Amino acid sequence: MIFTLGLVCHTELDYKLNQGDYNVSLQTGVLYVVATPIGNLGDITLRAIETLRQVDLIAAEDTRHSRKLLEHFAISTPLTPLHEHNESRQMDSILEMLAQGQQVAIISDAGTPLISDPGFIVVRAAHQQGFRVVPIPGPSAMIAAISAAGLPTHRFTFEGFLPAKAAARMAVLRALQKEPRTLVFYEAPHRLRESLEDCCSVFGDDRPAVLARELTKTYETLRRLPLRALYDFVVADPEQQQGEAVLIVQGATHAPSASYEISLDLLLTHLLAHMSVKSAAQLAASLTGVGKNTLYDRALQLSQPGP
Ligand code: SAM
């Protein structure tokens, strides 16, 4: 008996489960974006394993880290590094392989590539050159955390990592103070305490929040408390300041009565008084959602002395 698995059944990428066997046939020149586990290896999908076995090359954020995962699943596909420092350079050789009809997969150290991880430059270029890009969905800390947080999920905003510097972090948090959607942040363990403190001061001690730490691993913690109580919980237990964490904060219950508009030039001019062109462009991009490159060009112009 043959069952076809998966909601998306491309004719060239059908999953046929036949008495325990499944076959994947890959189309020429395809870039696969493959999610891998965020801790528990049991979370890898059948499609991920078969795709990683069958592609010609796997571009991995850290090849040493990924080799262990691949060995565990008896995957012997060649690996090449793809990280934030070489992505532009690697893009050309990956595109060249796709042009020759080969298959390439992108993976990151954990979870879904491009979600606070490398891959965007290559994926964008593959689209621009007309290659097919296929997601192989699977774990992501953001989705795992929000799915179990018990905070509203009908609308949420993923904010990635908060800035490391206190002033920039506070600026980002203040810009989100009245945001009605649930806020999801990735946080480095050594900054969790400071970020929680800043969240208390911007959102108030009573805003419901969730710490989702070490998800799918042995010391998984999922704690839902008002922000100040969550801060106290983390401060009281140094264990909670280690490992990997997602911080989720409920959105503002009252939407702002008026929307505030500020010109990009005004925002950039104020930021440039306190930081470099690059930092100003980055911060303005995270505050406004406008592209970082566009803002960088404009910030550069504004930073030049006038005629
Ligand atoms: N691409 C990954 C994903 O799809 O979730 C995220 C990569 S990002 C570089 C790493 C951050 O994700 C960590 O600092 C933490 O905020 C979050 N993270 C990753 N694994 C996690 C886990 N098992 N539990 C909680 N948070 C995790």
Task: Give yes or no: residues 195 and 100 share one domain.
Answer: no
Lowest mean pLDDT among 4-8, 67-71, 268-272, 303-307: 4-8
Q: How confident is the model at residue 4 (pLDDT cuts 50, 70, 90)?
A: very low
The residue out of 228, 249, 270 marking a domain boundary is 249
pLDDT, position 167? 96
pLDDT tens for 56-100 read 999 999 999 999 999 999 999 999 999 999 999 999 999 999 999
The reply to whether 107 and 149 lie within a common domain is no
Check whether residue 72 and residue 50 sit in a common domain.
yes
Q: How do 30-34 and 57-60 pair as beta strands?
A: unpaired
Tokens of 181: 């959607």
CATH of the domain at 40: 3.40.1010.10
Tokens of 142: 């953001």
CATH number of the domain that 152 lies in?
3.30.950.10
User: 307 in a domain, yes or no?
Assistant: no
Residue 31 has pLDDT above 50, yes or no: yes
Ligand 1 centroid to residue 174 C-alpha, Å:
24
Distance 122 CA to ligand 1 centre (A): 21
Tell me if 8 is assigned to some domain: no
Which has the higher per-residue pLDDT, 186 or 23?
Answer: 186
The answer to whether residue 3 scores a pLDDT higher than 60 is no
Does residue 1 sit within a domain?
no
8 pLDDT band (50/70/90 cuts)?
very low
Co-location of 278 and 225 in the same domain: no
Q: How confident is the model at residue 293 (pLDDT cuts 50, 70, 90)?
A: confident
| Same domain for 238 and 153 | yes
Same domain, 132 and 154: no
- Do residue 82 and residue 41 come from a single domain? yes
pLDDT at 23 over 60: no
Number of domains within the chain: 3
End-of-domain residue from the set 139, 173, 207: 139
Q: Helix (H, G, I), strand (E, B), or coil: what is residue 233? A: helix
Residue 4 lies in a domain: no
Q: Is the C-beta atom of 159 inside 6 A of ligand 1?
A: no
| Alpha-helical runs (H) found in 160-276 | 166-175, 192-203, 227-236, 264-272
Distance CA 29, CA 9 (A): 18
The stretch 1-28 carries a mean pLDDT of: 41
Mean pLDDT of the residues in the chain: 89
**Pocket of ligand 1 contains residue 112 by CB under 6 Å:** yes
- Rounded mean pLDDT, 135-160: 98
209 and 175 in a single domain? The answer is: yes
Chain position carrying tokens 């112009």: 301
Output the CA torsion 125→129→135→139 (10° steps).
-10
Which long-range CB contacts under 8 A does 231-240 form with residues at least 24 apart? 231/193, 231/196, 231/197, 231/199, 231/200, 234/192, 234/193, 234/196, 235/193, 240/192, 240/211, 240/213
pLDDT at residue 14 above 50? no
**Given this model, what pLDDT does residue 306 score?**
62
CB atoms within 10 A of CB 291: 11
Any atom of ligand 1 within 6 Å of the Cβ of 244: yes
The pTM for the full model equals 0.77
Q: Whose CA is nearest to atom 19 of ligand 1?
A: 141
Q: For ligand 1, say whether the CB of 214 is within 6 Å of any of its atoms.
A: yes
| 178 within domain boundaries | yes
Helices (H), 188-276: 192-203, 227-236, 264-272
- Is residue 9 situated within a structural domain? no
**What percent of the chain is predicted at pLDDT more than 70?**
88
Residue 9: pLDDT over 70: no
5 within a domain of the structure (yes/no): no
Say if ligand 1 is within 6 A of residue 115 CB.
Answer: yes
Same domain? 151 vs 166: yes
Q: Do 146 and 228 fall into the same domain? A: yes
Evaluate if residue 131 carries a pLDDT over 80.
yes
Q: Is residue 11 part of a domain?
A: no
Task: Quick: pLDDT tens for 214-267.
Answer: 999 999 999 999 999 999 999 999 999 999 999 999 999 964 444 555 688 888
Q: Which domain does 182 fall in, by range?
A: 142-249
Based on the fold, state whether residues 236 and 272 are members of the same structural domain. no
Residue 13: count other Cβ atoms within 10 Å of its Cβ. Answer: 20
Protein residue closest via CA to atom 11 of ligand 1: 186
Do 147 and 242 share a domain, yes or no?
yes
Structure confidence at residue 307 (pLDDT): 54
Tell me the mean pLDDT in the region 152-169.
Answer: 97
